[in-house]
Structure 1
Amino acid sequence: MEWTAEGLLIGIRRHGETSVIAEAMVAGRGRTLGLVRGGRSSKLAATLQPGNTVHLTWRARIEDHLGTFTIEPLTSRAAALIAEPTRLYLAQLVCEHLHLLPERDPHDRLLGMALRLIDSTPDAVELARFELALLDELGFGLDLSSCAATGAVDDLTHVSPRTGRAVSREAAQPYLDRLLPLPSFLTARGNASPDDLRAAFRLTGHFLAAHLWVPRNIDPPATRELLLDRLLREE
């Protein structure tokens, strides 16, 4: 078995004394792992950095095997990311989120969003939308199309922390202490205030914890709080 493609490196871990296992997001193939022989050499150090886009050749005797990667650099972002801490934290968080995806399951929408986030000026609004899309692609999407109580499609202001369904302003009134605020920019294009952004990340963080971090017994990415602190301070 063999294929070639471009991939976004999202993780590297040591394997043995001289090799590494590289993890990449590949269009049409999803999160894919491969052994890179000699990957701990100084020659490959600059190439094998999460956040870089590389040309991959994957080979294996049987499709279900781990396989090996031959990697060549295409877009090296590491130096630029290190020079800008906010962009670095953003790239690290995006890569950690992509780790949550199942192996070899295509998620091209998320890959496209990830590349735009990493290559653009850090944008809290787009990051919040990325986290919503991540939940959706993993099967835990929020239903923000209509009110769970009345069916109304307008003036949706809150979300049930249990069901992930939207609630209208009127229906939410008796339960405000139990509901999560829904900032309007998540359902319609528009500006977002710092309070809106805090509400958005509280919302996505709640469901990421409920459906992914807690069930998998993993800690929330440490870079998330560092990044949000920087992004919200800059708003």
Structure 2
Amino acid sequence: MILEAMVPGRGRCLGLVRGGRSPRHAAFLQAGNSAQLTWRARLEDHLGTFTAEATRLRAAEILADRQKLYLVQLLADHLRLLPERDPHDELLRGVISLIDDDWHPLDLAAELARFEMYLLEELGFGLDLETCAVTGVHENLTHISPRTGRAVCAEAAAPYTDRLFALPGFLSGASEPSSEDIKPAFALTGYFLDRHVWSARQIEQPSTREWLIAHLASAGQ
């Protein structure tokens, strides 16, 4: 089988695991598990082969919890958007925290939305949340322009709110997340992921994302 893994300092790496579908390997070569990998190839740009030894097994716990299962599937789909062998250690740390830490649904939703914001940045499509695109002020940034991806302050946004995305304060660090922030936050990240990544690459939005957002928004109330 072809194993895809996020490796500290090396990013998304692929390798052939001989006998990877055997019962011995199938037990731990599952999404969400951690392993010690050894990679071998004649040349650096070859696919190469992995030998793997499990270090942290999470798959049974993930399969028993629908929320965690959908979360892991969504995170795997997000990581697959990254170029191969390009280090993204902050994203990897974020994934491990999202999977392993004990989250209240509202906090999990907020952290996942922040993860998608950072994913956009790492892909080269980060949003500008520092200053208002119209006035240049740094305070009271309440909306995002869908055209430029830049923040807009409340005063400048007032005549155009029907054309702008709401900017939940927790995404800019201006406030703590609330249950009313969740759907607007994911509408914002989903729009720019679709515009710059999913539609651009002619791929569908991850099928687990809609259910997970609705579930977390409901559970966080």
Q: Same fold (TM over 0.5)?
A: yes
Higher RCO (CA 8 Å, separation ≥ 6 residues): 2
Structure (1/2) with the larger strand percentage:
1
Per-residue Cα deviation, 1:102-143 (whole angstroms, up to 9, x for no partner): 000000110111110011235001000000000000100000
d(CA) in 2 for partners of 1:134, 1:73: 27
Aligned partner of 2:8 in structure 1 is 27
Q: How many residues align?
A: 216
* Correspondence for 2:122 among 137, 142, 149: 137
Deviation at 1:93, TM superposition (A): 0.7
Asked whether 1:151 is paired with 2:136, we answer yes
Task: Give the letter for the 1:167 counterpart.
Answer: V
Match of 1:72 in 2: 53
In structure 1, C-alpha distance between the alignment counterparts of 2:169 and 2:15, rounded to whole Å: 42
Tell me the TM-score normalised to structure 1 length.
0.90
Flag the structure with higher helix content.
2
In the alignment, the residues of structure 1 paired with residue 161 and residue 115 of structure 2 have an alpha-carbon distance, to the nearest angstrom, of 26
Cα deviation 1:137-189 (Å, max 9, x = unaligned): 01000000010000010000000001100000000011111100000011116
Cα RMSD of the aligned pairs, angstroms, is 0.9
- Partner of residue 38, structure 1: 19
SS of 1:176's equivalent in the other structure is helix
Q: Which of the numbers 102, 126, 148 marks the counterpart of 1:121? A: 102
- The answer for unaligned runs of 5 or more in structure 2 is none
1:55-134 to 2 correspondence within 5 Å? 55-122=36-103, 123-134=108-119
Structure 1 stretches of 5 or more lacking a match? Answer: 1-19
Q: TM-score, normalised by structure 2?
A: 0.96
Deviation for aligned residue 1:210: 0.3
* 8 A Cα contact 1:197 1:232, kept in partner: yes
Amino acid at match of 2:156: A
Distance 1:101 1:29 in 2: 12
Give the superposition deviation at 1:202.
Answer: 0.3
| Aligned partner of residue 141 in structure 1, secondary structure | coil
